[in-house]
Amino acid sequence: MSAHDISELKQAVQTSNESLEGVDPAQTAQFFGVSLQTLNGIISASPGNGNGARSAGLARIESLLRETLDSDEDIRGYLHHPIADLSGQTPIALLLGGKFDLVEADLLAIQEGAYL
């Protein structure tokens, strides 16, 4: 392992630890409208997640949900209803399958007014 690789690894660990500060898994599960077991499945499917930590991908999705939708109820409704543009799948199912990019793209499309 090169010095550059070690430096990148240290930075990734520091970033991961910073993203975990103040995070309550039960609160995060409630936000997504899922059980802790399902949340753990989403975290496991997160891109780039090798240590069980809450990934930057999950944090990005949570941030986009908050920016895009008006309330926690709207967020849970979005996550648990089939979306035609997502091949009829629910966003939560896509997150469980590691398809964070598709959910992110859909949320960005909503922000851009694609569904108006």
Residue spans of the domains in the chain: they are 24-111
5 token code pair: 């690789």
Q: Does residue 5 register a pLDDT over 70? A: no
pLDDT at 30: 86
pLDDT at 98: 86
Predicted confidence (pLDDT) per residue in 33-61, tens digit: 988 888 888 877 776 655 444 467 788 89
The reported pTM is 0.68
Note whether 55 and 47 are within 8 A (CB). Answer: yes
